[in-house]
Every structure is written in structure tokens, then in C-alpha cells.
Amino acid sequence: MQSAVSVKDLKIAYGDHTVIDKMSIDIAPREFLVLLGPSGCGKSTLLNAIAGLQDITSGEVWISGKNVSWEEPKDRGIGMVFQSYALYPRMSVRKNLSFGLRVARLPKAEIEARVARTAALLQLDKLLDRRPAELSGGQRQRVAIGRALVREVDVFLFDEPLSNLDAKLRNELRVEIKKLHQRLGNTMIYVTHDQVEALTLADRIAIMRDGVIQQLASPAEIYRRPINLFVAGFIGAPAMNFIEGRIERGDGAAPVFLGNGLTIDLSRYSFRAVAAEGPATLGFRPEHLVLDGATSGLPTIPGRVAVVEPMGSDAVVWFDWADQSLSLRLMGDVTLEPGDALAPGLDIAKASLFGADGSRL
């Protein structure tokens, strides 16, 4: 099948500082791709290059089967939503939505129909005559989305559209965007550095670091089987716990992980290749620890509670073990207090192991 968007051998450099190097991705029609990565890793740069807002150093950008590397942004069949909304401040919502169409000299009736449709879809009907300054953050963001939608194109680009909103609004709009995608079925490329957004929205997530894609896979895959230490640490809140140690195997016996006095049998861990001896990092998520480790028959990590963070439906317990602070997620009510001893058990089948070079074993 033809890709909706594809980037071939893309390289972008400012002077001799290469921001994106030899990148190639294919994005399928109707796919929701999230670009996730730390600040400065080149997410916006990539998105801008796709939109035609950024000069590329070499490589090609294809949209809907057409090489658009040299096209003007308006001719690429894309709509874009920006982090700062970038609404035209002195125009009413209606004008914001219709400005591009009026400049393109669409028939009046067509413009009105499109604006009405978009406004209805995004529940902006009642706001059409307000100015951006008279809108709340969430409303502004909806208008920004509307301005992209009204163009009725196949590909939408979102550059951290929610990061200026407060937590509550962010959660609400996230769901709305997801519904929108299900309804419209357009291709969407969505940049964020918020991993909750990435996990909840994406069909596939591309995790970037320094202009290079680390892992491109489904959210579940990325969460469960991170390809390397960077991805593992980047995804998950609270972050994955890491313990440094070594993998050793007796003669022919199952490999074990030794770290800081801890010995963990790795026979239930599914290695990607045959496990070699050597330094390794064991990573496991807070929910992979079971509070009553003793009864579970799992290897235990004894420690002392440092901080308890109740979050309503669940709670995160931070405990100290061997100079490290590890986290453990509990459902429901927690009776632990700072200072209490605990020895949670670790489910090694769900954990991840990384070799000396940081990649998954």
C-alpha cells in the first residue's frame, strides 16, 4: 500500500550541526504516529520538514505518493497544529478558521459549510465570534485543531498541541483527539514529549534521541519490551527501576543476574539471543513488583519505605534499597508509612535486561 507520508534518507543540519541524520520512516494511511523524545531531539524539526517549513539538507519527503520536497507548505496537503496554538490573535474564531480558505478564494458557501462542520465537530459553535484572547486554553487548542481540520487534508501534523495546557484539560483533550482520529481516519503525526499522550494516542510510537529513531513500534511493545536502556527509561511514570549487575551462568545452568547482593534466576526471562555472561542492567517497572514478595515465591528486594505517593486509584511507594531509590506501584489504599520495612517480589518474566551497550538482551 502507498504510504501516506514517507521520509527518505532525510538529513537536516544547521551549519555543521546535524539535527536529523539519514532518517527514513513510512507512515501508513490512517495511522496515528507519535514522535516522542526528550527536548531538543529534533521532533519539531522533523515535523517542520514534513510540512515544508524547514529547509532540508538532503533527502526526500513524500506525501500521498507525491514527492513534495520542493513544494510550498500549502500545496502539500497537510494541516498543522502548533504548541503555542499560533492563532491569529486579532481575528475572531470564525476568521481564524476561514482565513486560509478565503485567501485561497474558495466559494463563500463552501467556506461557510466547512467552518460550520468543523465548529460542530469541535464544539466551537458558540465561540465563533470570540477572539482568541477571550478563550480558555483548551478552547484555543480546539480552534487551532479546527484551523487544521478545515483544510480537509489527509495528513495532520501536531506539534505538542497539549503541552501548554494544565493536567486536567490535557487529559480531556487527549481523549477528544483520539476520538477525532477514530472518526476522521486521517493520517496523524503527533509530536510530544509527554509519554502518557504517546501511549494513549499512538498506533505506533517513534522514540527519538538526538535525531535518530530508537524504536518504532506499538505502544504496548515499547512499554513492555523497550529496545534499549534509553527507551526503557524514557517510557513509564514513574520511570522503570534499574539495577546494575552482571549476568553469570554456572556451567550449563540457567543464567542468573547478580547485582548488589541480589541474585535473580533468569530462566523465565525470554532472551532475544543466547544470554552471554557480562555486565548487564536489570530493569523492571513499579507495577512489576508484588508487595508481598515472601508469599509470592518471587525473588525479593528488601528495603525501607521512603515516600508514599497516593494518587487516588493507586499509589507509588518509593523505597530505599542498597543506596538506590526504587518505586513500586500499588492499587487502592496504602497503609505503608515512611520508614516501614518491605520486601516486594519481582516478576522477572515481565522485566527487561540490557547489555553493556544498553541494548535489550
Partner 1 sequence: MMARPHPNGPKPAQITAGRIGLYAFLVIAALFFLLPLYTMVVTSLKSMDEIRLGQIFALPATLDFSAWATAWSGACMGTVCVGIRSGFWNSVAITLPSVALSVFIGAVNGYALSLWRPRGANLLFGLLMAGGLIPYQIFLYPMVRAMANINLYNSLAGIILVHVIFGLPLVTLLFRNYFVSVPEELCKAARVDGAGFWRIFFEIMLPIAVPMVVVVSMLQFTGIWNDFLLGLVFAGRDNLPMTVQLNNIVNTTMGERTYNVNMAATILTAIVPLTIYFLSGRWFVRGIAAGAVKG
Partner 2 sequence: MSIKRKPNLSATIALLPTWFVAVVVFIGTMAWSIRLSFTNSTLFPSSTYVGLAQYSKLFSSAKWLASLQNVLIFGVLYVAGCLLLGFLLAAALDRKIRFESAFRTIFLYPYAMSFVVTGLIWQWMLNPTLGIQASVRSLGWESFVLDWVVNRDMAIYALVLAGVWQGAGLVMVIALAGMRGIEAEQWKAARIDGIPVWRIYVSIILPQLGPALAAAGMLLAMGVIKTYDIVVAMTNGGPGNATEVPAKFIMDNLFGRQNLGLATAGATVLVLGVIIAVAPFRYIMHMRDKAKGAA
Ligand X SMILES: Nc1ncnc2c1ncn2[C@@H]1O[C@H](COP(=O)(O)OP(=O)(O)OP(=O)(O)O)[C@@H](O)[C@H]1O
Q: Pick what 19 binds: ligand X, partner 2, a copy of itself, none; C-beta below 5 to 8 Å, kind-dependent.
A: ligand X
The site for a copy of itself (CB under 8 A) is made up of: 39, 163, 166-168, 171, 174-175, 178-179, 182, 193-196, 199-200, 219-220, 223, 235-239, 285-287, 306-307, 309-314, 316, 318, 329, 331-333, 338
> According to the binding rule CB under 6 A, does residue 84 interact with ligand X?
no
Q: Which amino acid is at 108?
A: K
C-beta closer to Mg ion: residue 44 or 187: 44
> According to the binding rule CB under 6 A, does residue 136 interact with ligand X?
no
128 and 93 Cβ atoms separated by less than 8 Å: yes
Quick one: 57 exposed, middle or buried, by C-beta within 10 A (0-12, 13-18, 19+)? middle
Q: Pick what 231 binds: partner 2, a copy of itself, Mg ion, none; C-beta below 5 to 8 Å, kind-dependent.
A: none
Rg (CA), the chain: 24
Q: Of 3, 18, 83, 171, which one interacts with partner 2 (CB under 8 A)?
A: 83
DSSP 238-256: SPPEEEEEEEEE-SSSPEE
| Contacts (CB under 8 A) with partner 2, residues 122-151 | 147, 151
C-beta closer to partner 2: residue 88 or 271: 88
Strands 155-159 and 78-81: parallel
C-beta closer to partner 2: residue 78 or 227: 78
> According to the binding rule CB under 8 A, does residue 2 interact with partner 1?
no
Q: Of 32, 42, 45, 59, which one interacts with partner 2 (CB under 8 A)?
A: 59
- First and final C-alpha spacing in the chain: 33
DSSP 183-241: HH--EEEEEES-HHHHHHH-SEEEEEETTEEEEEE-HHHHHHS-SBHHHHHHSSSSPPE
Least distance between a copy of itself and beta carbon 298 (Å): 17
Buried b (16+ CB within 10 A) or exposed e, 236-269: beeebbbbebebbeeeeeebbbebeebebebeeb
49 and 10 Cβ atoms separated by less than 8 Å: yes
> According to the binding rule CB under 8 A, does residue 104 interact with partner 2?
yes
Q: Of 23, 33, 45, 284, which one interacts with ligand X (CB under 6 A)?
A: 45
C-beta closer to partner 2: residue 160 or 197: 160
Q: How far apart are CA 78 and CA 44, in angstroms?
A: 15
Stretch that binds partner 1, among 55-63, 176-184, 227-235, 320-328 (CB under 8 A): 55-63
Q: Is 23 helix (H, G, I), strand (E, B) or coil?
A: strand
Q: Which residue is closest to ligand X by CB?
A: 44
Stretch that binds partner 1, among 52-60, 179-187, 293-301, 351-359 (CB under 8 A): 52-60
287 and 224 Cβ atoms separated by less than 8 Å: no
The site for Mg ion (CB under 5 A) is made up of: 44
Q: Which amino acid is at 57?
A: T
| Contacts (CB under 8 A) with partner 1, residues 85-124 | 86-91, 99-100, 103-104
Q: Is 314 helix (H, G, I), strand (E, B) or coil?
A: strand
Residues that bind partner 2 (CB under 8 A): 14, 48, 51-53, 55-60, 69-70, 72-75, 78-80, 82-84, 86-91, 99-100, 103-104, 147, 151
